[in-house]
Amino acid sequence: MISKIISFISGIIFGVGLSVSNMINPEKVLGFLDLFGQWDPSLIFVMIGAIIVSAPVFFLFRKKSKPLFADNFSIPTLKSIDKNLIIGSGTFGIGWGMVGFCPGPAISSLALLNTYSVFFVLSMLGGFLLIKLINGVIVSS
């Protein structure tokens, strides 16, 4: 039960952070990606702020035997630098650069009741399902 509350509050705090930094705003994100034009470096400060807080806590706390309200840590063990990583991340970047939305801000922006956010999120879910479908076909054949 407590883990559910933690998930909920984590989501809220994350959404507040995206609002304070204005990363919820595609125009702000595109300003960062417009490196060769009118550049707005803000996004890198968001990442640095988040990493400064989380890196030391990850480093110290992952040595514990388990988290406070769950039985074990779920940290991805995948280490390989493979073609899926490069092709997937590269494809994500193209979509990100087209509009200025990545998954967190796109979901958070549903709060602003913008129709475009709804279409973006639905298309993103469609992308997830397509890959699940393709993976299913490959595994079963």
Partner 1 sequence: MNVINFTPFSAFAGGIIIGLAVILFFIGNGRLAGVSGIVNNALVSKKNRTDNFLFIVGLVLGPIFYIFFTENNIPFFITSSLPIIIIAGFLVGIGTKVGKGCTSGNGICGISLLSLRSIIATITFMITAIITVKLIG
Interface residues for partner 1 in 1-40 (CB under 8 A)?
Answer: 2-4, 6-28, 30-31, 33-40
**Contact call for residue 79 and partner 1 (CB under 8 A):** yes
* Closer CB to partner 1, 94 or 141, in the complex: 94
**Contact call for residue 137 and partner 1 (CB under 8 A):** no
Closest CA to 26 of 132, 103, 113, 92: 103
Using CB under 8 A, pick the residue from 63, 78, 138, 140 that binds partner 1: 78
Kindly state the smallest distance separating residue 141's Cβ from partner 1, in Å.
Answer: 19
Tracing tokens 């930094």 back to the chain, one arrives at 21
Q: What are phi and psi of 122, to 5 degrees?
A: -65, -40
Using CB under 8 A, pick the residue from 66, 137, 138, 141 that binds partner 1: 66
**Contact call for residue 122 and partner 1 (CB under 8 A):** yes
Between helix 26-33 and helix 42-61 the angle, nearest 10°, is 90
8 A C-beta contact, residue 14 and residue 46: no
Closest CA to 11 of 111, 93, 92, 88: 111
**Contact call for residue 63 and partner 1 (CB under 8 A):** no
Chain CA centroid to CA 12, Å: 14
Contacts of 48 (CB under 8 A, 6+ apart): none
Kindly state the smallest distance separating residue 105's Cβ from partner 1, in Å.
Answer: 8
Using CB under 8 A, pick the residue from 63, 110, 139, 140 that binds partner 1: 110
Using CB under 8 A, pick the residue from 76, 139, 140, 141 that binds partner 1: 76
**Contact call for residue 141 and partner 1 (CB under 8 A):** no
